[in-house]
Amino acid sequence: MEPAESTTTNTTTSTTSNCSSSSSSTQPQEGEIQPLVVARTQSVEARQLSEAEAAMVAATKMTVSEYHKSRFDTHARMFWDKFYHANKTFFFKDRHWLYREFPPLVEQEPVHTLLEIGCGVGNAFFPLLQANPTIEVYACDFAKKAVDLITQNELYKANASRCHAFVCDVINTPISDTVPANKVDLCTCLFVLSAMVQSKMPAAVSNIFNALKPGATLFFRDYGINDEAMLRFAKQRNSKLDENLYVRQDGTQAFFFTLEHVQELFQSAGFEQLSSVYVFTETINRKEELQVPRVFVQSLFRKPDTSAPSSS
């Protein structure tokens, strides 16, 4: 399950390694002018809005009916299946930037086992299978159509002994039903929690925690508060479902995180936080001469290993 910004035009799709492919709305067409990432910085402070921007966000009303809010939530799988039926494998770019941000993924010694939560159609782990010939991958998504597209891929078939894709609703279905115990030492959770309502996030994080072996490391990246996509949502009628939660035109949802919220979510489930920052990128749409500031939350967490000897 990989979120997409349907409000972003296809000429603002980032093609650099340091900007998440999930910010795009479609694959660029041949000959299309590509944007340029002109800056990438990190901070523990959120992006500051102008007075006008802050007033616009504050004034955004939650006009969606309770019936439709419930429908967007309870039928989330249907909306994501429709998304992948429509876009197939042509929507997201491969996430080569991930290796720079989470280097253990390409370490061949020791041999690692990765659990990818919300794998979509494999834009993270398919390149990884080629970059790291020793890694074993368990990849899950709750959109059956996405997993079907993965298993039809020739690269998946060629790596069947070390790649296992499966359908899983991480809110309600134990990941450990499929993934062997004490096996996974690396985990990625990329633009997954933002696709669900806030009240269901703790169950998903606890499920992930229980699936990892003690000492495992989790890499998290998702939308940050005051991201440009959030400001675009604020300009639209009937898009705000709850505080920091919006719905796209295709029925999929997008939540925007603060560092504090992410820390509370994962630490409450038992994780230790290793690092957490806002990642700011600015892309230039060279066709329309627009600058687009993006904001992501990026964190590293570890599942404590209570069997490890104390360093004290």
Domains of the chain, by residue range, sit at 10-19+32-302
CATH homologous superfamily of domain 10-19+32-302? Vaccinia Virus protein VP39 (3.40.50.150)
CB neighbour list of residue 191: distance below 8 Å, 6 or more residues apart: 2, 3, 20, 22, 118, 221, 222, 223
Angstrom CA distances, 61 to 26, 65, 167, 242, 255, stand at 29, 12, 36, 9, 16
Spatial distance between the Cα atoms of 219 and 114, rounded to a whole number of angstroms: 11
CA dihedral 269, 275, 277, 282 (to 10 degrees): -120
Spatial distance between the Cα atoms of 95 and 228, rounded to a whole number of angstroms: 21
pTM: 0.84
- Tokens matching residue 14: 């980032």
Spatial distance between the Cα atoms of 282 and 139, rounded to a whole number of angstroms: 30
pLDDT at 35 over 80: no
Tens-digit pLDDT profile for residues 173-188? 999 999 999 999 999 9
Spatial distance between the Cα atoms of 31 and 21, rounded to a whole number of angstroms: 19
Q: Give the least confident one: 126-130, 181-185, 222-226, 308-312.
A: 308-312
Distance of alpha carbon 287 from its chain centroid, rounded? 27
37 — pLDDT class (breaks 50, 70, 90): low
- Tokens matching residue 258: 């603060």
Which residue type is seen at 126?
F
91 — pLDDT class (breaks 50, 70, 90): low
Dihedral of alpha carbons 212, 215, 221, 222, sign = positive
Spatial distance between the Cα atoms of 2 and 102, rounded to a whole number of angstroms: 18
pLDDT at 21 over 60: no
Tens-digit pLDDT profile for residues 6-17? 333 333 333 333
The per-residue pLDDT for 29 is: 32
Sheet holding 136-141, edge to edge: 36-43, 272-285, 290-302, 217-223, 186-190, 113-117, 136-141, 163-167
The per-residue pLDDT for 42 is: 92
Neighbour count for residue 248 (Cβ, 10 Å): 21
Tens-digit pLDDT profile for residues 217-254? 999 999 999 999 999 999 988 899 999 999 998 899 99
